[in-house]
Structure 1
Amino acid sequence: MKYVIGIDVGTSGMKSIVVNQKGNVVSSYSVSYQTEHPHTGYSEMDPNIWYEAAIESLKVLVTQYGVDQISGVSFSGQMHGLVIVDNQGQVIRPAILWNDTRTSQAVADIKEKIGLKTLLNETQNTVIEGFTLPKLIWLKLHEPAHYNEIYKFMLPKDYIVYRLTGNLYSEPSDAAGTIMFNVKEENWSTTILEKLDIDTTICPDIIPSHGFSGTLTQSIMEEIGYKGEETINVYQGGADNACGALGAGITDENKQLVSIGTSGVALSIINHKNYENDGKVHYFNHCVPNQKYIMGVTLSAGYSLEWIKQLFSNEEDFETFLRPISESKIGANGLIFTPYLLGERTPHNDAKIRGSFIGLDANTTRADIKRAVLEGVTFSIKDSIQIIRGEGKAVQNIVSIGGGAKNPHWLQIQADVFNAQITTRTEEQGPAFGAAMLAAMGEQWFDSFSDMSEMWINYNASINSDDHNVGLYQSYYEIYQEVYRSTRALSDKLVQFK
């Protein structure tokens, strides 16, 4: 039996899984690490920490199964992070991560210099603080010595692949999130780069997500404990959301994805050539060839739940913490929560807005507050679902993954708020499973991604919406939408007191 390894390079940890040719996950290994926040709004990481975590993971998993049984490895990676290396391949400074918000002025400068029309025409996306392009512009303005040293920039997972193989590539699904990449042409936008006076040679070459990146170098093989001639093939991998979608079986336009982790995502494949994004959602390349998707993002989805759990009872696990929500009726007894703890992405693209509880009174219980958080996060994701429906997608069958797929009450809330059938994976391993699928395709275990999905992916019984609940939630959702408009100015005024 042969195996592949899928490795997900997350924000707070790395998860690696071993998958056999039948699609069964036979082993896993996790490494935790912490991001650094040297100033307010900054989020950084030494890229070598990711590399060391990958070496630790490979050493454990390859030792379990033997180098002759592991035929390939691939990666899923957090998007938008900026890693820069000099002409010796050495990291110049810590990576600036997706959740770093220091670049507000750079975003404004880019929009002024290029214009939204050109951005959308060239990249099919607008530019926001978390994306890669404004990070480069920030470096150019604030750390010119570092900027001038740049030989190549990379995304987080691409840096690991580079260290493991010595070869420097990226691929379409991650490159799309830089806002320097032409999603339709699947290559770097020379127009954007030239308008901003960015040397095009610092961009890595593009290969397919399941493209062959190289093999583990001899020194890497020795580091993980092997001194012979054998090695392991490495395939480039994909962006975390794309790999999460692939691992959930989203390989065509028939199903949509909702992923609730730290952030929340609603995703749908859209392949018609005439689609033009207006900037309300992201439009990125899938890690499946010739597929593209639109995606809306809630910045503080699971993060909101983690925040309220820390305030109330941090010692409890999530299952215990959420058990009382059945005591609170739909609408949390007239309480609405907006999950804008870190600002909001879709549909507002507003870094300054902050969250609210509306409707607190003397009868509000802890169960009401917990339920309001779940409902508020789900309402926020519905904002993205509504945009997807506006593009002509029926959105009737949603695959839910992540933390939101682990609680039956939350799954029912999703079905009722989205007015859709909700399905979950029988074995949900997140983006790491999608990365393993990319390695399997690279190894040519299957003729197509559809064939692999049919063989490897199984689902639990679906959860259906309740017509009565759908009507109630629609009324609450309309009030929820008013809260942003009513609190935006207040959030601006409160910034001075933060």
Structure 2
Amino acid sequence: MKYVIGIDLGTSAVKILLVNQLGKVVNEVSKSYKLIQPQSGYSEQSPLDWVEQTVAGIRKIVQEFNGQPSKIEGISFSGQMHGLVLLDKNNDILRNAILWNDTRTTKECIKINESVGKERLLKITKNSALEGFTLPKLLWVKDHEPELFKRVKTFVLPKDYVRYKLTGKLHMDFSDAAGTLLFDVGKKEWSQDICELVEINPDICPPLIASHKEVGFITSTIAKATGLLETTRVFAGGADNACGAIGSGILEDGRTLCSIGTSGVVLSYEQSANKDFEGKVHYFNHGAPNAYYTMGVTLSAGHSLTWFKETFAKIESFDELLNGVKTVPVGSNGLLFTPYLMGERTPHANSKIRASFIGIDSSHKLQDFVRSVLEGITFSLNESISIFRENGKTVDTIVSIGGGARNDVWLQMQADIFNAKIIKLSSEQGPGMGAAMLAACGCGWFESLKECANVFLKEDKIFAPNKVNVVKYKKLFKIYRNVYESTIHLNEELAKFRT
């Protein structure tokens, strides 16, 4: 039996999977690292921590492996998007990485819109200027740390730096480049126009590579540190959402992914870069060859449920918290929740809007509030699905992963609100599995990612929409959409009183 390793470099930890030729996860190791927040709105990490913990995780995988290291043929990567890693002429780190959830760059986003123009930016990058993307971070460093910026030779994203330290080869794949705002998504090349307009030297943009392409082999240093052989092949890998799509079988039209973690993502496969969503959703290059995906984001998805549990329900487990939800009817007995705890991304891109419970009654019990939180999160995700459908996309099959796939009541709720068939996978590993699949295909185990998915991914349960509930939720969704416009001014006024 042969094996590959999938490395998923997340925001809080790196997760490493050892996967065999049948798609079985033989072992998995998680190694955490710290978040650095020097002040409000700042979010940074040390790239050296990523490397150290990745190497330690691989070493543990190899040490616990019963077979010969030669049976582990390849490695590939998934990584947190948008993070900025700046390197000097020796490819040494110049500062801590600025992460995707760092919000210090509002002024830089305004500057990008003024310099490039919103329409031109959308035409080239398929995305609007948001604080999370990489280009605003580059401009922030240029403006606030000019002496350091003069020493910048190149920049990469988080998993690219880890791959560089493992191989000595420096690249960025298309799916991660698409999240920089410097990349022409359709042409799959760095945009000279944008670089010129924002006064960034295009020479600092790294070499590009497709996610499935082979980069090289691990170095002798890494081989000694991990126990792997120097002949272990390394493949480029992709952005976490692109790899999550691969690891969930989102590899053809009509297939959509709903991933509910701290934030929530609805992601749908696209065959071309020609569709125009007017910036209402993100539009990125897929990790699959010559493909794309559209994506909407709910900032506080699982975070809303965690916040409610920790604030109002001192219950040890989420299973216990959700235990009574099944007894509550559709609409939570007239209670509605909007999950804007940290603002909202899709479709509003508003960092100032805040959450609401609407319709609170003295008869409401804990389980009513819990169900309303679940419904509110799902309504927010449905905003993205509505945009897809309004632009001619067929969304009839949705693979649900993450926290939202661990409760049957919530899965049925997704089927009813999305009005689509919901699939729960028997083994749900998301981005890490996608990275492993890229390595498996790269090693020649399969002719295509679709063929790999047929072997690696198995359906566990299917939830069909309940027609009666679909009708009720359509009415409730209209009410939900009214809350945003009705509370914008109120939240602007209340913001003055926040400390």
Partner of 2:388: 388
Partner of 1:196: 198
What secondary structure, in the 3-state scheme, does the structure 1 residue paired with 2:101 have? coil
Of the structure 1 ranges 215-224 and 266-275, higher mean CA displacement relative to structure 2 is found in 266-275
Partner of 1:459: 459
Partner of 1:218: 220
Partner of 1:357: 357
Partner of 2:71: 69
Contact 1:420–1:464 (Cα < 8 Å) also in 2: yes
Q: What is the deviation of 1:109?
A: 1.1
Cα distance in 1 for partners of 2:102, 2:183 equals: 20
Cα distance in 1 for partners of 2:472, 2:346 equals: 23
Sort the Cα spacing of 1:355 and 1:20 in 2 relative to 1 into closer, same or farther, 3 A: same
Cα distance in 1 for partners of 2:328, 2:32 equals: 35
Q: What is the deviation of 1:257?
A: 1.0
Q: What is the deviation of 1:489?
A: 1.4
Cα distance in 1 for partners of 2:32, 2:320 equals: 24
Partner of 1:322: 322
Q: What is the deviation of 1:71?
A: 0.5
Query: Any gaps of 5 or more consecutive residues in structure 2?
Result: none
Is residue 311 of structure 2 the alignment partner of residue 302 of structure 1? no
Superposed, 1:260-279 pairs within 5 Å as: 260-272=260-272, 274-279=274-279
Amino acid at match of 1:89: N
Contact 2:254–2:393 (Cα < 8 Å) also in 1: no
Is residue 348 of structure 2 the alignment partner of residue 337 of structure 1? no
Cα distance in 1 for partners of 2:273, 2:403 equals: 34
Query: Any gaps of 5 or more consecutive residues in structure 1?
Result: none
Partner of 2:122: 120
Partner of 1:236: 236
Q: Deviations over 1:339-395 (max 9, x none)?
A: 111111110111111111111221221111111111101000000000111121221
Contact 1:165–1:217 (Cα < 8 Å) also in 2: yes
Cα distance in 2 for partners of 1:282, 1:216 equals: 34
Q: What is the deviation of 1:461?
A: 2.9
Partner of 2:207: 205
Partner of 1:174: 176
Partner of 1:109: 111
Amino acid at match of 1:2: K
Superposed, 1:27-106 pairs within 5 Å as: 27-65=27-65, 66-106=68-108
Cα distance in 2 for partners of 1:340, 1:333 equals: 21
CA RMSD of aligned residues (A): 1.3
Amino acid at match of 1:369: F
Cα distance in 1 for partners of 2:86, 2:314 equals: 37
Q: Deviations over 1:100-143 (max 9, x none)?
A: 11111111111111111110111111111111111111111111
Q: What is the deviation of 1:328?
A: 2.2
Cα distance in 1 for partners of 2:313, 2:340 equals: 21
Cα distance in 2 for partners of 1:438, 1:320 equals: 38
Contact 2:185–2:273 (Cα < 8 Å) also in 1: no
Amino acid at match of 2:113: K
Amino acid at match of 2:93: V
Cα distance in 1 for partners of 2:203, 2:317 equals: 48
What secondary structure, in the 3-state scheme, does the structure 1 residue paired with 2:446 have? coil
Contact 1:68–1:230 (Cα < 8 Å) also in 2: no
Q: What is the deviation of 1:275?
A: 1.6
Of the structure 1 ranges 402-411 and 328-337, higher mean CA displacement relative to structure 2 is found in 328-337
Of the structure 1 ranges 431-440 and 355-364, higher mean CA displacement relative to structure 2 is found in 355-364
Cα distance in 1 for partners of 2:375, 2:136 equals: 33
Cα distance in 2 for partners of 1:255, 1:482 equals: 29
Q: Among 137, 141, 144, which residue is 1:139 paired with? A: 141
What secondary structure, in the 3-state scheme, does the structure 1 residue paired with 2:296 have? strand
Q: What is the deviation of 1:236?
A: 1.2
Contact 2:315–2:321 (Cα < 8 Å) also in 1: no
Partner of 1:442: 442
Cα distance in 2 for partners of 1:57, 1:418 equals: 38
Contact 1:7–1:15 (Cα < 8 Å) also in 2: yes
Cα distance in 2 for partners of 1:315, 1:31 equals: 27
Contact 2:69–2:227 (Cα < 8 Å) also in 1: no
Sort the Cα spacing of 1:347 and 1:31 in 2 relative to 1 into closer, same or farther, 3 A: same
What secondary structure, in the 3-state scheme, does the structure 2 residue paired with 1:461 have? strand
Cα distance in 1 for partners of 2:275, 2:375 equals: 31
Q: Deviations over 1:212-267 (max 9, x none)?
A: 122111111112246xx744211111111111111111111131111111111111
Cα distance in 2 for partners of 1:63, 1:70 equals: 12
Cα distance in 2 for partners of 1:273, 1:299 equals: 25
Cα distance in 2 for partners of 1:137, 1:274 equals: 29
Q: What is the deviation of 1:481?
A: 0.4
Contact 1:347–1:384 (Cα < 8 Å) also in 2: yes
What secondary structure, in the 3-state scheme, does the structure 2 residue paired with 1:178 have? coil
Sort the Cα spacing of 1:315 and 1:143 in 2 relative to 1 into closer, same or farther, 3 A: farther
Cα distance in 2 for partners of 1:225, 1:24 equals: 22
Cα distance in 1 for partners of 2:92, 2:355 equals: 41
Amino acid at match of 1:368: D
Q: What is the deviation of 1:11?
A: 1.0
Amino acid at match of 1:193: C
Cα distance in 1 for partners of 2:69, 2:461 equals: 38
Q: What is the deviation of 1:274?
A: 3.3
Partner of 1:23: 23
Amino acid at match of 1:90: D
Q: What is the deviation of 1:273?
A: 5.3
Amino acid at match of 1:17: L
Amino acid at match of 2:192: T
Cα distance in 2 for partners of 1:313, 1:91 equals: 44
Q: What is the deviation of 1:314?
A: 5.4
Contact 1:67–1:231 (Cα < 8 Å) also in 2: no
Cα distance in 2 for partners of 1:272, 1:235 equals: 24
Cα distance in 2 for partners of 1:312, 1:29 equals: 33
Partner of 2:250: 250
Sort the Cα spacing of 1:268 and 1:225 in 2 relative to 1 into closer, same or farther, 3 A: closer
Sort the Cα spacing of 1:18 and 1:314 in 2 relative to 1 into closer, same or farther, 3 A: farther
Contact 1:122–1:191 (Cα < 8 Å) also in 2: no
Q: What is the deviation of 1:315?
A: 5.4
Sort the Cα spacing of 1:230 and 1:103 in 2 relative to 1 into closer, same or farther, 3 A: closer
What secondary structure, in the 3-state scheme, does the structure 1 residue paired with 2:69 have? coil
Amino acid at match of 1:261: G
Aligned length: 496
Cα distance in 2 for partners of 1:314, 1:155 equals: 39
Cα distance in 1 for partners of 2:195, 2:32 equals: 36
Amino acid at match of 2:254: N
Cα distance in 2 for partners of 1:156, 1:491 equals: 35
Cα distance in 2 for partners of 1:380, 1:447 equals: 38
Partner of 2:259: 259
**Stretches of 4+ moved more than 6 A in 1?**
none
Q: Deviations over 1:136-194 (max 9, x none)?
A: 11111111122222111111110100111111101011110111111100111111111
